[in-house]
A and B are shown apart, each in its own frame.
Chain A
Amino acid sequence: MNGSRTSTTPADHYCLRLFVAGTVPRSLRVVESLRRICETHMAGRYELEVVDIYQQPDLAERDGILAAPTLLKVSPHPERRISGDLLDEGRILRSLQIEPVAETR
């Protein structure tokens, strides 16, 4: 985990948007899980917006969200999206390019 943090770019301020479907237990679990990951690995340099697609369908449409839950990394570029219950911490960090995974994948 430490290696991931050291290899990030200097201007690493993360802007994340999480789309969940309603306030069912699964949604709450996902939000909780993601917050924990963020606090652990990028405390103070992230911004997390949680969107309930029932409440704001227009936002979901704007971002082309089909699956729920979906985590959208708005910045830094490139944009990434992860669908699923976000329980696999290591994979999420890789996908968010806290390590540059995309180029080598």
Chain B
Amino acid sequence: MKWFVKLFFILSASFLYMYADSLVIAANRNFPVDSLNLKTVQKIYLDKIRFLGGKKILPINLPYNHFLRKKFENSVLKMKRFEIERYWLKTHYMGHRPPKVLKSQDAVASFLKSIDNAIGYLEKGTAIKYKLKILYEVQNGKSKSKK
């Protein structure tokens, strides 16, 4: 009986994962570029690149325990949580700051809507709902650049 329950949960989780909304990197329609590649997204979120198209880019994070942040860290930054923590500690020594944190996807989407040079990660449905420009898309852990 136990194995049956386990199997049920594994299959349910796999099903939900397959049909989960994809994660996108989105920005305001006036954002200076139309697409980003994986390396550039990583470098913006790790504060290795600060300007694009002559404008200072403002990356936005979701809260520490938000499911989408975990997905973003795994599939885009490709770093474990403790690696990211150590990374930000090193940048603290070098005078750099981690991205600003907003509490929900709706808060991020509203912020992106009003600030031209901010970018954030959201579920695709949320980005479409707020009519944001999709710069990069990750679906089921596989990344693809938005053409």
Do A and B come together as binding partners? Answer: no
Binding site for B on A (CB under 8 A): none
